[in-house]
Structures are given as C-alpha cells and as structure tokens.
Structure 1
C-alpha cells in the first residue's frame, strides 16, 4: 500500500477546508485522514498515485469559497519505515485509518499558511436571521464557515475554538451537533453560536448603568431608537467600536464633532443597501462590486445631485465614504430605523487606537457617547475598516485592514529575493504615521491591520501587541532582520533598534520614498522602474523633507534624479497646519520677488488677502517674512503636499489643516467639474545640478490669475494639472536618460483623481507605460512592505 502525505498551505483554516476534504475523500471511497497541523492542513491518503492526483484535481475545483490554496506538497512514504520515498527524510508518524476521518489538530509543523480575514455575513446566515422559525432569528452574532470573524478573535494556531475568544462560550446541544457534523456548513465553524450559547448585547447609559436588564427586552432595538432620537451611540462590533449618529440632522453631527474635536474631518457612513446608497451617491459598476464584496470596505463615492445629508457630514468635499453592513449586528440596526444611513466612525481618541475593551469604552468615551451598546466577546486583534477609492476606474487602497488582513502577499517569484533562505524571517515596522508592519516569512509577506500614528503612546503599545499576535498566528519564533524608516527620531525606528538587540539581528534603515517605490514594483511584478513619489513628507538622505521626487530603483538601490524645487518651511511643522506660511515662503522664493526686491509688495498682498490665515495677523506675517529672509528656524522641503496646500490657501479654499490632507482634499473637491479652460505652463530649472520643477513660478502664475479675477474653479484645476505635468515631464526625461519603459506614481498625492489622470495621460502620450498601486496603498499604509523587500534584497546581495 502506498501512502501520500499532502501538506496544503494557504487560507485553509477556518474556512471549511477539512470538511470539504472529508466529503471529497468519502465520495471517492478513499481511506486516510485530514487534520490541522500547525499552520497547514495535512491530508494522508492510502491510495495509488492516479487516485491521489484525481483527488487533488477535485479538491482544487471544489475548494471552499473563501479558501485559497497557495501550495500543495506531496510526500510518498514507505509503509514499513515511513520515510520519504525520494529523500529518505524521516517524517511525522502516520496513523493508519479505516475509512476517511477528521483528526484532532496538532501543532507540530510550522508552515506559511494563515487564517482568513474577517468577512461579511453570508446570505445563508442572513436568511436564518430573517426566519422567525429559526433559533438564530435576529441574533446579532451568527456565523458559519463561510463568513464572520476570524482574525479578530484568534489567539494562536492551529485555528480551533479553544484558541479563540469563543472558547468562553461553550456550545449548546444544537450548536454542538452542527459543529461536530462534517456535512454541516458549521462543522468546526469556530465562531458558531446562537442566542442560547453565544455572546449577548447590553445597553448602558453615560453613567455605565445598564438599561433594560430584563432578558426579554431588546437592547439593540432600544439602542437604535435612541439613535433615531438624535443620540450618539458607541457600538462595539467585530474588530472594534464605532461611534454612531444620524446623518439627516445637523445637531447630532455638530455635537459629535465638538466632543471629538474633529471640526471638519469627513465621517464615513453605513447604509442598509445598494438602492439606498444610489439615492445620495454615484455608484459605478466597479464601486458596486466592492461595496457588495465579502471584504465590505468603505468605498469613497462621489455625492450625486440628490445628496441631502447634513452639510456637516463631509464638509466642502465632493465625495463621501460609504459602506454596507458587514456583520449581523449592522444588518439588524437597519431593521429598526427609517434612516438612510448612520455615521460609522472609529471610536478612538484622536491619534490613539480604536477601543475594544468594555471597561475602556465606558470610561474613555465618557462625555463623547450618550449611550453604549456593547457585547461580551473579547476582541484579540482590533481591526479598523478598510477604505478604498476608484480614480478613473482604477482601484486605490487608502487603508488596507479589515477584510484583507492577514492574507499575505506572495513574494516567491520576486527576482530580487530569489536565493534568500526560506527560513529567513523579516520584520518591517513602517514609518510613524498611518503605520502598518510587515512580517515576511517563507516567501510570503503578512502586512498588518492599520495601526495608526505611533507618536501616541497607546498606539505604540498597540503596535507591539499586534506584532506579538501576528508572530503567534504565523508561528514565528525568531527574526533574522528588522527594517525601519531612515528617520532617526521615529518611535518605530527606536523600536527596531530594541527588537534588533532582543533577537540579535541586524537593523536596516530604508529611505521612505524608496520603500514607496518598492511596493509599486511588487504590485506590478517588476524589478526596475522610474517613479514619482509625491506626498507630504519623507526623511531624505540629505536630512531635508522630501515629498516631490523622481527616483529610479532596482528594489535594492535607488537614485534621486529630479524633484520639486526646494522650499523653506518657516517654523517647520507649523507650516503644515497653517499653509499660508508656506504660500508666503514659496512666493518669496520666486524669481519675481528675488529680482524685483520689492518685499513690501508681498507683505501687502499677504496682509490684505490672507491675514486671517495667520494666528497673529499682521505681526506674524512680518515675522514669517523675516524668518524666510534670515533662514531662522526654517526647514527645507520638496513636498508636493505643501505646494497643493499653498494653492488651496491662495484660492481661499482652506487656510488651516484640522485633519491630515484637508487643504489638498478640499482643493480637489473645489476643482471637481472644471472644464480645463485655463492652462499654467510648468517651468523648470536646476538646483545642485538636479532638474527641478519651479513651483514658485506656478504660485506666481496662480496669484496673477486671481488678480485678473479668473474663475477660481478653473485656476484650482489648472494648478493641479501644472504640478502633475511638471512631475510627469521630469519622470519622462529621467526614464529616457536611464532607458526604462515603466514610470510609476506613488505617495498620498496620487489619491487625487485629477492629478493621477493628468500624470497618466502625459506619461502615456510620451510612449511610456504608466503603473499604479493595485493591491497596496499609495500612501504610508504599505511602506512596511517596501521596507521588508528592500532590506531583504540588501542582505541577500
């Protein structure tokens, strides 16, 4: 008798993979067994090669809907001594079985598989929730092998109920019968439960007093009634907590903004169904598919002509973030309301992680939420909602988190990493803002959920906790290399040094924009390109703030070939909050004011038109100009974000940043729908023998157009296009010089639809191939992935 020992790696745990194997094997009258073995699924068959090959073919065709097979390894074993037929390697003991069975899990193997992400509730579970005769009728925590929480509740692998937070909820007789039946879709569905044995909801007031403690009452129905009355609720969900409020009235939103100190930041909303969304937003076919996908991200949609929500929901923006319900709890909320949508924004103190513990929610959100709707299931891995946007029908991840994490990127075919030892483990810690981390192992890169801004201590703690959890579920016990940002003062850089000492491994700093470009290359399966890196800031090798760069990379190395014109930031970071300071600096640096030496003219323009954008009015304007002139307390930057913010200030669109990217986002919305009637011709010069785009001249041209009383919408659009085409020309010139066909675009600026389109059109018109991010973030959310790749390739070489 021959024995085939098959190891299957991929998303094969917690997705109904073992019962699928069981059913296929029984249908084919095969003997053997299947079990979870650490991070992989082990299948043993007592069959000949033809039968085994037929089994594998059938398994691939009948794979469960949310499973994903990355690799299948077959070892043929000698029955007498159980040694591998090819190499003679001693393998784990094979248990001889009659028939085909599902065995208990083991943890004796460390592969490269991982559990699936949290996924939206499936149609079968929704049907049960809506069936009055079903014991799960209107139960807010129903789940099966095809849906529900995974990543947020797992503690370790193999993925069994005993290693999840569901272990605290012993199954009732009926649920246990389903759980033990291989023919049932809830066979070993670790999150399975019902109202008799699963988590439950409680409603609390602001003083932490439980309301309606009667078991026959409905806390969810009562909670939604409070929402309908204009109250603010904190609702604990699958991976964290949301603050929830009405969208059709001003007062709840104004109250929420005041309590959170978020005067302008747009709030995402949840709407019950696609038909309702279409009443207030434009929805393309691609956007529709993403809204309805099992990942259920927030999708940034354009407001339509019928949009009638409060003006305070997404002020001065032409778009709004929208998602459909993804948990049973969310679906049930809309059973008790006529509201077309509710605000669903992460419940956290600004800069800190989303709250997941009931005690913390009740204490830290005191004075913010009026009421609290909480459940008693622990959340192990908090996970914010993912956010995506389509620009010109191209998908762009703004935040890649719930629904996608921890599914890994496959790097096994990347040329720059071929030859790297398969057991070489890399941890990359990202930058400082919008942080994720990446764990690279056995040719796979596991990019974490959204962590946030690590200059806040609680977020820094969350980062360390999340790293520990990811190493647990990937069975990673050692690290061979740690990568981090080049900035010496980042908290992630300090953590990298500490972990390097702990694991006795090298720490490799990686330049911020180089990491951006590496991710772009990985996403498009290329190893060499010219790319535009346009964002707010990244620490450059010369110690200045880069952010408008033309770079070449072969992944391992990079070269800076061109950039935007270096500009002074008077007062440093305060210029990012008050962009009129940057406007003053950029204009002062122009050839016009340098040659004419009429500083008083600029001073008068600033005082007459922009004094309200300076905290101390005329006195501050004079001080800022003196700072620029004397180089006192100024930083140097080539940031594209600072130029766009300055255009926004010049046009009186936005003069104070209250959230990240506000001025640039409002500029894009202001320009939306322009005809392109005005053209600003970009001009170039050299600085330190490096080609640069003359951004001061662009601002001078804009000021002239304002003086001529031209249409401001058209000026706003023309300013964006001038920046785009200027960067694109620099990139094309660099590509021609180096001899590269691919030109890419990365960085947060390329979330802007108009800028992305103008850049793309110019590059393709010149005969080059334009590439963008596909399954990664243009912003800082994917920096850690680029760091891991670059550091690994450096070590290999």
Structure 2
C-alpha cells in the first residue's frame, strides 16, 4: 500500500476553539497517523495515510470545522512518509516570531455548559467559571500567543485531578480548554459591601446578591471584560439612584434578561434580532419597546428602543436565574471613564456608586465593554453601535495585502487599528479620550495588539486635527520609534473605512454625515459629499451642507438652542415671530446677546455638520434646549416622528464653491410649519424625509457628472435608524448602489480602520 504524507499549516482563528481535538477526532475516524500542534505560525498538522484515507481527512478538514474556527489560509506541503509511525499525537505548543494566529474573541456560554451549571448532580453545578473549548473567555484573559494556559490569567490556577483528566483527553470537550476549572481548583467569588466588609463567599454570594438587588441595592459585578453596575430594572427608585450616582442622567441603560421569553415581554423581536441575542457574541441589541413598557421609565427615557442582552457567562446565568427578572447592566465606571478592571481598582473608583461588590479572583487582562448592535429592518443586516466584547480582536479582511500600518483614530468613540498582511484589526471600543485614564487604556490596548499580532507599524496615520490626544500621541510615537506619520482628514477616513470593509477599490461618491471633524479649509465639517478614489489616492470635496455657526464653540454642542438660533440668524430671522422660541423661558438673557456674538464672529466657528443640523431642528421643535450625552437631541427628534406623514421638505442644491446642499431650507420649512401650528411629529418626519431626498438627489447629480454609481455611507448619523433604512433605499431608487458598514460602527469608531487602510495603500503606492 502506497502511503502519502502532507503537512498542513492552518492560519486564522484556530487556537482556543477546539481545533486540535477536532483534528485528532477526524484523524481517528479516518485511520490516519501523524501529529498536530499549535505554533505562532498557526496550527501545524502532519498527516499520513493511503490515498482514500487522505482524501477523506482532507474533506473533513475542509467541511467539518469546529463552530468557532475561522480559517484564513490553508497551505499544504508534500512530505516523505515515515514508515515507523503508528498513531496520531497532539504535540505541545511551540512559540516563535510568526504572526499568523488569530486569538478568538470571548464566546458566550454554550448550551452544554449551561446544562452543567443547572444540573445538581454535576460537579460544576452553579459554578460561575464553567467553560469548555466551545465557549468562555479568550481575548480578555490572554497575554500573548500561542493561546495556552501559561499565557492566560488562568496560569495561577493548578488543575485538579478531574479537570486535568478532561484537559488531557482529546475526546473530551474540555480538552485544552485553557480556562478549564471547577469549584475545587478554579477561581472563586465573594460579596462585600462598599467598604470592603465580607458578606458572603462562594455560591452564597450570588444568592445573597439576588436578594439584595430585590431590595433595591446597586451592585458592582465583576464580569468578563470588567465590572458592571447592576440594579433592578423594574424599580424607578433603584434606576434613578444609579443614574444620579453614576452621573448619567438620561443616556439609555442596557438591560440583561434571564431568557428569550422575558425578552419578548419587553420588546418586539425579529428572527434576525433573536439570532444576535442568542448567538455566540451576545451583544446588547437595540429593540423596539412593547407598550405598556414593564420596566422603569428611567431605563431609556429618550427613545422607543431598549437595549437588551441575554446572559453570556455562567455567573450571569446563575444570577439572572436567581433574580428571575431583568437587571440594568451598565459599564462599571463614571461617565467618560474607562470600565473598571481589577478588584482594587473597582473598589477605589466605584464605592461612591455602589452598595455591594461581587468580586472574583480570575484576573481580567484586557478591558472590554459590551458590544451594541441594532438590525436594519429593511435588510436584516447589523448596524454596529459599539464593537467590543464578542467581536474584538477579529479582523476585517482587506482587498490588498501590505505593510503594517497603525491608524490612531479620532478623539470621540475612539478605537485604534493595526494592519497585518491583508487583515485590519480594529481594537475594541475605547471611548472618548477626554481624560488621562482613558488615554492610558488606549495605550494599553495599543501595546497589547502589537504584542499578540507580533507586528510593528511602518507608518502611523492620525487625524488632521493637531490637538486630538491621538494625534499628539501619534507624533510622539513616530519620533520615539522613527516611524513616519501621515494625517488623513476625518471624513475621508470615514469613507475609506466603508471601502475597506466592503473590499471596494473603485472611485465612489461618499456621504460622510456626523457631528464634528476638522476640515481641510479649517472649518468644522460633518455633512460632506466627497469624491474618493482609493487606488489613485485622490480625494475631493464635492459639496457640503449649508454652514451654520456654533455660538460659544463647544458650549453650543451641549446647548442646541444656540445652534437653532444661529440657523435662524443665517435665514435673517433675529426675533421670534408667530412662533415663540422654546428656549426663551430658560435662556432669554443669553438669547438676546447671541446676535452680537454672531455678527462679530467671535467664538462662533462655521460648521457644515449634519449632526448639528439635527440639534438645531430638535431645539427649534422644543425637544432639547440642552443635552447630557452625544446625539440626545437627534434621538428625541427621531423618536417623535409620525410615520404616517409622507410630505418631505425641499432640500435643493445651491451654487457655491464647492456646491452646497441648502439644508437651511429645511430649517426655514420647520419654522414655517411651527408657526402654522403643524404638530411636531409631522415636522420631524418631514425633516427626515426632506434631508434623505436632498442627499439622494445630490449624490445622483454627481453620479451623472462623474459617471460613478457607488455611494459610500458613513458617519454617526447613519446610526439613526430612519437614515440607515431610508437613505440607501432612496439611492437605490435612483439607480445608485449604496455601500454601508456591517462590520464596524459607522460612527467615529470606524475612523482608525479608514486611516490604516488608506495608510497601507499609501505605502504600497510609494513602493511601486
């Protein structure tokens, strides 16, 4: 019998996902001999058998992959057979300087492990750290590759005899499950008050915590990627107290429910939304509320949507099983700070917010917030609002392979991205870089990504704004390492991000719609129609929204009434007429002074921002004189729409250099309808429809002029469900082809991806 021997090198998400036991099983089933091991190059398989055995093995290796595996490349090399080989062996992992391994994102508890913790006869009954090769922590506990127990925060927990037997048995589902543990040998939990006084330990901690939450207490719970702040989502008093202590007066709070049955009591849920709720990533999913809404009015007061997630760790399953009702589960931090990570850090930072702490002693190495997703009802596609747990550090696959580039991101909704070959690795959500604590978190993530990817950038790309902390850090890093630094304008980066994740390389018309980004002319951009030619590395601003001034600068962003009055001033309206301005009751003195500020142009920068236009209309309609979180005014404006309204305000193009979309005409129409007593819900709908029509007609005009038929859509405004659903439809109705985000958020979290992808093309072009 003639023997064949092959060596396979498999790269991708193939470590920590049960790949080696899978290979062992299919080797046994097909009667082949050989070896398999993890290395920094990937999974290395040497396999030997006759032609039929090898063909069957090859087919199984291709079509029967473990559910969490993601193969990027599979190389095969012919070897000389080894006559004496008589079995198949799993070898120990090897290190090295290769960089072809993807660390798995954290994975929600699988049904088998849920069954284990629910079975009184199982030794892992109610054990909050139960896991197997198909589920559990990955990214958040991993120091470096290869992904083996010594490289994780489980290295300090010595396996007991029973766990060790599972870990060593290739046919056990816990074979080489690096976080494998049981109550005898694994991490433990305990409950304290906010002064650190012990209340309970072990399983009693969860039972006692559930009782305390029923009594209205607020708890800090150590989870997978950091601490949550939790309270009874049904209790107005508890949720209001949490908001007051956390300094988060209005922004919606996420809710964790025990199961899908309870989720359906709270929200209308489509099959696509249920798939996200119950899948391995388990993000928070934004869902339309049922009415009457059975939870506290303070959970999500500004919107008709509620953010719901299901338990994704054994601890959550046990706690929600005991509590039997929804819990608010929000990031364990004060607003604008990074999520708390360690026990001492949490006790120091969160004791003013919380009454209780549920601690455990499995270290979290990487802070990771919950991800947030909503589903486009027209397409069933996801719109990511925040990309973190369950997604990071999964790559975005690019249209080209090239040198490593670092995109340092913007200041708000910040992420950073490193490229490696034809893959881009956006970090998890980091947040707004408004303080040193968040900047330190940003640096931690940069160092960690470089370490696990084993790369060093050949180019750093930053935002055009020189005062962003990310821009200054990029320049410092460039000088320190002697790496060149390039800058890319904010909105061009948005469009390059859409192109990168769609792997699209032809010229496009880009609509970048957000709140703020420094433009090439020194003004604040945010409502932009752009020509982007990725292969030619050329950009051009084709058109923009009509300018509005921001009287008071950043103060105007927090006080939208200022933007509304500035928009009226642009229209020549300087005094209230038939419609009394809603802000006069609270800001009459400031309002009288505002025209002088606008006339002099002192601290009143120009902006073409789409986000600020939404702010102006919301304030004019009496929905938001001031805001407490980004996007609040626009969220309220979207919420009040009367969906039966079909009229759209006119929003024409007007001659300028560049061309401008006359968005001030929308404001004029809003004012006229308000003066005529038209209800605000109708006005809100007419505004949305008018803006969508204006954008589509503008894109169509440039499509005819330039013979370009693809339109890339990006920017935080594309998280508005009305815009996300109807703008692509309007473009399609004109024969255009929209390109949208599905893998990264359309808000500023995508900027670093666009920077990195553009930077890689720049290096490739310079090198011919």
TM-score tier by shorter-chain length is: over 0.9
Q: Is the 8 A contact 2:32 2:54 kept in 1?
A: no
Q: Is the 8 A contact 2:712 2:739 kept in 1?
A: yes
Equivalent residue of 1:183, what SS?
coil
| Alignment partners' CA distance in 2, 1:159 and 1:294 | 19
Q: Is the 8 A contact 1:391 1:752 kept in 2?
A: no
Is residue 734 of structure 2 the alignment partner of residue 749 of structure 1?
A: no
Q: What is the Cα deviation at residue 612 of structure 1?
A: 3.8
Which residue of 227, 230, 233 corresponds with 1:247?
Answer: 233
The equivalent of 2:190 in structure 1 is 202
The equivalent of 1:386 in structure 2 is 371
Q: What is the Cα deviation at residue 95 of structure 1?
A: 13
The equivalent of 1:145 in structure 2 is 133
Taking a change above 3 Å as real, the CA distance of residues 195 and 694 of structure 1, as seen in their structure-2 partners, is same
Is residue 461 of structure 2 the alignment partner of residue 473 of structure 1?
A: no
Q: What is the Cα deviation at residue 278 of structure 1?
A: 1.0
Q: Is the 8 A contact 1:22 1:182 kept in 2?
A: yes
Q: What is the Cα deviation at residue 651 of structure 1?
A: 0.8
| Alignment partners' CA distance in 1, 2:758 and 2:91 | 42
Which residue of 388, 391, 395 corresponds with 1:404?
Answer: 391
Q: Is the 8 A contact 2:31 2:53 kept in 1?
A: no
Q: Deviations over 1:193-236 (max 9, x none)?
A: 111111111101011111135x6x61011011110111000000
Q: Is the 8 A contact 1:538 1:547 kept in 2?
A: yes
Q: Deviations over 1:378-399 (max 9, x none)?
A: 0011111110112333320111
* 1:584-623 to 2 correspondences below 5 Å: 584-590=565-571, 592-593=572-573, 599=574, 601-602=575-576, 609-614=582-587, 617-618=588-589, 620-623=590-593
| Alignment partners' CA distance in 2, 1:99 and 1:243 | 52
| Alignment partners' CA distance in 1, 2:94 and 2:648 | 67
RMSD between aligned alpha carbons?
A: 1.9
Q: Is the 8 A contact 2:36 2:91 kept in 1?
A: yes
Equivalent residue of 1:641, what SS?
helix
* 1:66-215 to 2 correspondences below 5 Å: 66-77=68-79, 98-213=86-201
Is residue 197 of structure 2 the alignment partner of residue 218 of structure 1?
A: no
* 1:610-759 to 2 correspondences below 5 Å: 610-614=583-587, 617-618=588-589, 620-671=590-641, 673-687=642-656, 689-759=657-727
Q: What is the Cα deviation at residue 23 of structure 1?
A: 1.7
Q: What is the Cα deviation at residue 30 of structure 1?
A: 2.0
Is residue 439 of structure 2 the alignment partner of residue 439 of structure 1?
A: no
* 1:328-477 to 2 correspondences below 5 Å: 328-339=314-325, 341-392=326-377, 393-411=380-398, 414=399, 417=400, 420=402, 424-476=403-455
The equivalent of 2:749 in structure 1 is 781
Q: Deviations over 1:35-67 (max 9, x none)?
A: 111141111224567754542221122211111
Q: Does 441-450 or 95-104 show the bigger shift?
A: 95-104
Equivalent residue of 2:708, what SS?
coil
Taking a change above 3 Å as real, the CA distance of residues 638 and 185 of structure 1, as seen in their structure-2 partners, is same
Q: Does 35-44 or 138-147 show the bigger shift?
A: 35-44
The equivalent of 1:504 in structure 2 is 482
Q: Is the 8 A contact 2:581 2:620 kept in 1?
A: no
Q: What is the Cα deviation at residue 606 of structure 1?
A: 9.0
Equivalent residue of 1:114, what SS?
strand
Taking a change above 3 Å as real, the CA distance of residues 96 and 607 of structure 1, as seen in their structure-2 partners, is farther
* 1:25-64 to 2 correspondences below 5 Å: 25-47=27-49, 51-64=53-66
Which residue of 199, 209, 218 corresponds with 1:232?
Answer: 218
Q: Is the 8 A contact 1:724 1:756 kept in 2?
A: no
Equivalent residue of 1:660, what SS?
coil
The equivalent of 1:85 in structure 2 is none
Q: Is the 8 A contact 1:3 1:45 kept in 2?
A: yes
| Alignment partners' CA distance in 2, 1:677 and 1:55 | 60
Is residue 267 of structure 2 the alignment partner of residue 281 of structure 1?
A: yes
Equivalent residue of 1:278, what SS?
helix
Q: Is the 8 A contact 1:8 1:73 kept in 2?
A: yes
Taking a change above 3 Å as real, the CA distance of residues 792 and 375 of structure 1, as seen in their structure-2 partners, is same
Taking a change above 3 Å as real, the CA distance of residues 36 and 642 of structure 1, as seen in their structure-2 partners, is same
Equivalent residue of 1:719, what SS?
helix
| Alignment partners' CA distance in 2, 1:713 and 1:642 | 19
Equivalent residue of 1:609, what SS?
coil
Q: Is the 8 A contact 2:424 2:757 kept in 1?
A: no
| Alignment partners' CA distance in 2, 1:162 and 1:754 | 49
The equivalent of 1:792 in structure 2 is 760
Q: Deviations over 1:262-281 (max 9, x none)?
A: 11111010111111111121
The equivalent of 2:10 in structure 1 is 8
Q: Deviations over 1:331-382 (max 9, x none)?
A: 111221232x110000112111100110011111111001001111100111
Q: Deviations over 1:56-90 (max 9, x none)?
A: 221122211111111111223468xxxxxxxxxxx
Equivalent residue of 2:500, what SS?
helix
The equivalent of 1:89 in structure 2 is none
TM-score (norm 2): 0.96
Equivalent residue of 1:458, what SS?
helix
Is residue 293 of structure 2 the alignment partner of residue 303 of structure 1?
A: no
Q: Deviations over 1:746-794 (max 9, x none)?
A: 1111111222333223222211112321222111112111111111111
Task: Count the aligned residue pairs.
Answer: 758
| Gap runs ≥5 in structure 2 | none
Q: Is the 8 A contact 1:250 1:312 kept in 2?
A: yes
